[in-house]
Chains A and B, each alone.
Chain A
């Protein structure tokens, strides 16, 4: 079956000579020219391929989990296998898909272009970060194929250090190495944004995508090293019996949880902040308006990064922390809602009286708005001590964080891939199929995860493979599994038509969306050094009023 629906809205300028023009894709050929490249755009594509691979590995585990829960009895896999399935699903999706997803693919591709630079500040470190990711990923694959881990992705001690006999150390090393890949990406972005901006590209002219990536990089830089040392301590404890987290030897397992969540809570913002940056670009473009409250949206990204470091113990309300610190962390968790709400309100205000176009990226943006809002508001339920105690370790929590990580981060990622696909590939994707896929993803997502809110609230615990003592949960679980199947179709579709469009899609013009931003002022696909001559920025960000009325100054002004 070949998708053949033409793009309905956009005029299709076809340049016969465009195919012959030198760009970053046809500058050099051969596997070696890709494996040794220092071009940020090629590295972005390497990342795109590798994280897509891990996305489908993680998705495969998710599918098995959902199949097991289709019936109340534990009849598809053994209990131990089930433990490994949800553990490896979590580890692969968090560390090898979500954390690198937008920063390493779209960020790598776009950060230098959006600020008018030829490349990131440290191109070879950028390549090194991809190799670290691949080494970590290969180790993780080896770990999975030779037995996997069954602790849950959180590695809680003393189970992980003293009791389980699965491959904790190997998985730990894999995540440690992938963590350095993430640190190097963040380091590159911070230095690039500080030092490589084109003349005239001031901080308040930066696209909000850049602000979001700057905030993300801060978290990657200051959070990731803490989980790195925590993993070192877990591995040392397991291998050398040090006893730092072992209560038998006087150690404190709660200290592990503090150190783990000090990174792993902000890690959620590593996933969602770049997505917010993508959504900001899409909403401005398809509303044809300057973003409402530019500075508020910019600084709310920084505020989320800062507050994000101060809320980690809300994962530990029932773990035995004192009531006083639980109160403080509950309060601070509410505080994160402020900058998040500022963003949602500003996006909505941007839509207000905008000239809205319902292209596929915008459909993903709408999906993001709704799902992120639900995910965020249920996060407030969980910040409240009383409700949190009630629903801790139930499917309510699972539904909540999937609304943020999948409904938020993955919707933004897919929206961004579609929005910048003409720039990345030089081809237009088939718009009809893309809208259909966006719709399928939205329906499938809600059908998968909304029943889980209900399940959790009714008391179904997470991480149980057998709920035969409560068969009344089956109907909601069947809905969830059906939704997951639809969601899977929604994720496979873009793979098919995007690959198809790389060869058969209509050639894209320089700026098919008539969007603001420097990345649209160079060829699609761009030349190796992004711009034929260094751009000089003389306009404000999101100048859609000027773009839509390019000859405004020629119109005589009525006196």
Chain B
């Protein structure tokens, strides 16, 4: 994300500081003393941003925990209506995509162009696969009338492990409201991630990255891993409540 303003920044560097330290690294912005400082700043910036993201999702997790504690039987019943097979598949898809991100960072560090471009493409394919599977799950829920709103219906669904007890549709509706908001915002983050990786792919195609400068790949990777980790928490919380019962 640091690179392109380099172009206008650099002319200023030449005017104000002479050619001495601008010449050897075209990606170094004028206000940094050294490439290491620039890279540290970018990486710290991404970590700090991820901290804000934790708080952003944190509000949702907080709401989820409150209602799960209050309405546990209905949450368990609603959770059992989820397609855990598709959820597990998506979990596997995202874990694979994290692997290809790590490979991309390594390829950039060691100047392996083919591997870099291949890993970025694979990551994007995994990301798209995740969104496709998610879309199918959303369609299933729509057809089952599990989308909160006027046509919501969750009548006579048994509570797992408690024969003769049925879920309270209002409480189940809160589960599905949280399900759609949480996975929807997560999917939005995936889409943003795909945009970032499309940009990284273009930059890699043009050969802009080198072992000396590949900060965008590193911090883009950090973001991707973070979005994966959010899913790693969402999956058991939403799909696996009291499944054994």
Please report A residues at the B interface, Cβ cutoff 8 Å: 38, 117-119, 121-125, 183, 187, 190-192, 194-196, 221-226, 228-230, 232-233, 236, 240-244, 249-252, 255, 258-259, 262, 528-529, 534
* A19 CA to B63 CA, complexed, in Å: 59
Chain B contacts of A243 at CB under 8 A? 148, 170, 173-174, 177
B5 touches A242 (CB 8 A): no
User: When the two chains form their complex, are residues B148 and A259 in contact, meaning their CB atoms are under 8 A apart?
Assistant: no
Residues of A within 8 A of B55 (CB): 221-223, 225-226
- Interface-located stretch among B41-49, B103-111, B202-210, B224-232: B41-49
Contact A259 B181 (CB under 8 A): no
Determine chain A's interface SS by DSSP, over half rule: helix
Taking CB atoms, residues of chain A closer than 8 Å to B168 are 250
Distance in angstroms from A349 CB to nearest chain B CB is 35
Contact A529 B31 (CB under 8 A): yes
Determine whether the beta carbon of B174 is less than 8 Å from that of A244: yes
Task: Specify which chain A residues have a CB less than 8 angstroms from the CB of B96 in the assembled complex.
Answer: none
Number of interface residues of B (CB under 8 A): 41
User: Is B56 in contact with A119, judged by CB distance below 8 angstroms?
Assistant: no
B92 at the interface (CB under 8 A from A): no
Cβ A250 vs Cβ B149 within 8 A:
no
Q: Which of A183, A222, A529 contacts B16 (CB 8 A)?
A: A529
Other-chain contact of A240, B12, B33, B45, B149 (Cβ < 8 Å): B149
CB of B56 within 8 A of CB of A229, answer yes
A-B interface, 6 closest residue pairs, ranked by CB to CB distance from nearest = A225-B56, A229-B59, A242-B177, A118-B31, A119-B31, A225-B55
* A187 neighbours in B (Cβ, 8 Å): 45, 48-49, 52
On whether the beta carbons of B66 and A241 are closer than 8 Å, the reply is no
B149: chain A residues at CB < 8 Å are 240-241
Is B62 positioned at the interface, with any CB of A under 8 Å from its CB? yes
> A240 touching B148 by the CB < 8 A rule?
yes
Question: Across the interface, which residues of B come within 8 angstroms of A123, CB to CB?
Answer: 5, 31
A255 proximity list for chain B (CB < 8 A): 63, 66
Looking across the interface, which residue of chain B has its beta carbon closest to that of A241? B149
6 contacts between A and B (CB under 8 A): A122-B45, A233-B60, A233-B63, A233-B181, A241-B149, A242-B181
Closest-CB distance, A14 to chain B (whole angstroms): 27
How many A-B contacts if CB must be within 8 Å?
118
Q: Shortest beta-carbon distance, B116 to chain A, in Å?
A: 25
Chain B 161-210 residues near chain A, CB threshold 8 A: 168, 170-171, 173-174, 177-178, 180-181, 185
Do B5 and A221 touch across chains, with their CB atoms under 8 A apart? no
Across-interface contacts of B57 in A (CB, < 8 A): 229
A532 vs chain B, min Cβ distance (A):
9
Q: Please state if B40 and A195 are interface contacts (CB–CB under 8 Å).
A: yes
Inter-subunit contact B5/A38 (CB<8 Å) = yes
Q: Which of A119, A125, A224, A250 contacts B174 (CB 8 A)?
A: A250
* From B41, B49, B58, B59, contact of A195 by CB (8 A): B41
Return B15 CB to nearest CB of chain A, in Å. Answer: 10
| A124 nearest CB neighbor, chain B only | B5
Contact across chains for B51 and A259 when beta carbons are under 8 A apart: no
Inter-chain CA distance A297–B148, complex, in Å, is 51
Known contacts A243-B148, A250-B171, A225 near B53 by CB under 8 Å: yes
Residues of B within 8 A of A229 (CB): 56-60, 185
In the bound complex, CA of A340 to CA of B55 (Å)? 26
Residue in chain A with minimal CB distance to B147: A240
Chain A residue contacts of B48, Cβ below 8 A? 187, 190-191, 221
Q: Which residues of B contact A228 (CB under 8 A)?
A: 56
Report the separation of the CA atoms of residues A233 and B5 in the bound assembly, to the nearest whole angstrom: 36
Complex contact B51–A222 (CB within 8 A): yes
Q: Among the listed A194, A195, A236, A252, which residue makes an inter-chain contact with B181, where contact means beta carbons less than 8 Å apart?
A: A236
Of B33, B148, B150, B177, most buried by chain A (CB within 10 Å of CB) is: B177
B148 contacts A195, CB within 8 Å?
no
Instruction: Please name 18 further chain A to chain B contacts, defined as beta carbons within 8 Å, in addition to the given A196-B37, A224-B52, A249-B173, sorted by A numbering.
Output: A117-B31, A124-B5, A187-B49, A190-B48, A191-B48, A223-B55, A225-B56, A229-B56, A229-B57, A233-B59, A233-B63, A241-B149, A243-B177, A244-B67, A244-B181, A250-B170, A258-B62, A262-B59
Residues of B within 8 A of A117 (CB): 31
Chain A residues with CB under 8 Å of B66's CB are 252, 255
The residues of B that contact A222 with a CB separation of less than 8 Å are 51-52, 55
Are A225 and B37 CB-contacts (below 8 A) given A244-B178, A251-B174?
A: no
Q: Is B235 an interface residue (CB 8 A)?
A: no
Contacts of B180 in A (CB 8 A): 242
